[in-house]
Amino acid sequence: MTTVTLDEVEYTIEDFTDEAKNVLNLVQHLQRVTEGHQLNAQCTDAMLKVKIAELKQLLTGEEAPSDD
């Protein structure tokens, strides 16, 4: 028995209509897409910070502080 919890209520997927199963599949897909976008945003933010530090170093001649 496979279940899904929505607003703290547990539902049995086997009892879903075909339409509800299709919507659930879309919801799960959109969650995966969202997680991928969040990961991409985190990676982009990290690269942005590195490149800002690099630009500051090039413009000022000062070494960027290390994270140590």
Quick: pLDDT tens for 26-61. Answer: 999 999 999 999 999 999 999 999 999 999 999 999
**Domain of 42?**
35-59
Domain count, the chain: 1
**How confident is the model at residue 68, as a pLDDT?**
59
Residue 15 has pLDDT above 70, yes or no: yes
> What pLDDT sits at residue 63?
76
Contact 16, 24 (CB under 8 A): yes
Residue 47 lies in a domain: yes
pTM attached to this predicted model? 0.69
Tell whether 39 is covered by a domain: yes
Answer whether residue 52 is part of any domain: yes
Q: What is the predicted pLDDT for the residue at 6?
A: 94
9 phi, psi to nearest 5 deg:
-115, 130
Residue 21 pLDDT class (50, 70, 90 cuts) = very high
Q: What is the pLDDT of residue 67?
A: 65
